[in-house]
């Protein structure tokens, strides 16, 4: 394993913000994880795990060891009459995994098509879209415990999954995910309740959709409203959708009849952060090199060569604006470094 010094990591984050890693290495095998962590501990340096760089914002150079995860492989573990179990390396591209499973007619993650990032990063954030979260299909995670410096297997319940949350996010840098096991379905329950998906299927006159049709619909929706990070720097949704009590929701609904929200339990509603931001006047707004995407207010974009600090400051103005107008505190989904 090669440890490099003073490496430009601007191209390794989807915002394209200028940043350097004091030390940098690429991990392609499990044993190299232990080597990298042991090296950083011996040097008394912090470390940062980097996957696809699609959910991170660098506000400065990193004065430690950046570990780029590139463990690959998709392996069939077992198969039953109704289910398929696969182990997937943390460095695999998430969308390519979804495409692979759709081509095999293995259902469960088709609604998560075109989400940027790697397989190893997916459980950390518990990525979700159109009524599906990755926790719905994860059965086991293989991870390296950096404190005990040993390998462990964590079952789904041990991962403490929540909305855009998990054990791995709560205990940052304690665990390094190297492999994720998924349980996929041969006759999956299809999730087409979201209006946008139904609308696309209706336009295509698809009455009995396949998982491929659903995946294609999601790709069409995301392509229409999300900018390509290869052309316009961004990290997808910058903010989480805030959760409120049903009482708070009803108060807001009285004051704002067009409020966009979804019930998530008998006691809570999830508010559409994009709608809140748009109503606060930010959709399509630009300050210098930073702006809210014209088609989706939830996405902050780097139009030119904005620094991470400029993007954070822009997001802070949005947070304050939404707080003033609605009394709602937005929380960033993107990780700041």
Residues assigned a catalytic role:
164, 237, 333
Cβ contact 173:146 at 8 Å: yes
Distance of CA 103 to the CA centre of its chain: 23
Query: What count of Cα atoms within 13 Å lies in the side-chain half-sphere of residue 298?
Result: 18
Nearest to 171 by CA among 184, 155, 158: 158
Cβ atoms of 184 and 86 within 8 Å: the answer is yes
Compute, in degrees rounded to 10, the torsion defined by CA atoms 192, 110, 67, 301.
-50
- Whether residue 333 contacts residue 39, with contact meaning beta carbons closer than 8 Å, is answered with no
The C-alpha atoms of residue 235 and residue 316 are separated, in whole angstroms, by: 16
Distance between CA atoms of 283 and 301, rounded to whole angstroms? Answer: 11
Torsion of CA 131, 301, 91, 180, to 10 degrees: -20
Contact between 334 and 17 under an 8 Å Cβ cutoff? The reply is: no
Q: Checking DSSP bridges between strand 56-57 and strand 335-336, what pairing results, if any?
A: parallel
Dig out the tokens for 322 from the structure. Answer: 């939404």
Max CA separation in the chain (angstroms): 61
């Amino acid at each position: 394993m090669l440890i490099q010094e003073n490496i430009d990591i601007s191209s390794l984050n989807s915002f394209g913000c200028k940043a350097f890693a004091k030390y940098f290495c690429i991990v392609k095998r499990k044993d190299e994880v232990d080597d990298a962590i042991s090296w950083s501990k011996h040097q008394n340096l912090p470390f940062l795990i980097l996957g696809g760089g699609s959910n991170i914002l660098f506000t400065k150079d990193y004065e430690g060891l950046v570990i780029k995860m590139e463990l690959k492989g998709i392996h069939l573990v077992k198969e039953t009459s109704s289910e398929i179990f696969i182990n997937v390396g943390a460095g695999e591209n998430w969308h390519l995994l979804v495409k692979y499973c759709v081509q095999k007619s293995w259902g469960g993650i088709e609604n998560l098509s075109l989400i940027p990032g790697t397989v190893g990063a997916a459980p950390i954030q518990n990525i979700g879209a159109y009524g599906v979260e990755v926790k719905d299909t994860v059965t086991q995670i293989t991870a390296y415990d950096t404190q005990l410096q040993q390998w462990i297997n964590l079952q789904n319940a041990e991962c403490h999954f929540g909305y855009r949350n998990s054990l791995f996010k709560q205990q940052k840098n304690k665990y390094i995910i190297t492999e994720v096991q998924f349980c996929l379905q041969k006759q999956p329950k299809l999730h087409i309740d979201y209006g946008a998906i139904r609308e696309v299927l209706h336009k295509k006159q698809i009455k009995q959709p396949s998982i491929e049709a659903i995946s294609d619909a999601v790709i069409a929706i995301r392509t229409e409203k999300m900018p390509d990070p290869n052309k316009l720097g961004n990290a997808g949704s910058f903010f989480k959708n805030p959760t409120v009590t049903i009482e708070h929701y009803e108060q807001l609904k009285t004051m704002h009849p067009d409020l966009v929200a979804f019930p998530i339990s008998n006691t809570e509603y999830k508010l559409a952060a994009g709608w809140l931001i748009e109503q606060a006047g930010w959709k399509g707004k630009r300050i210098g090199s930073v702006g809210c995407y014209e088609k989706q207010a939830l996405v902050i974009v780097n139009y030119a060569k904005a620094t991470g600090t400029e993007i954070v400051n822009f997001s802070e103005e949005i947070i304050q604006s939404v707080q003033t107008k609605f009394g709602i505190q937005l929380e960033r989904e993107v990780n700041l470094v």
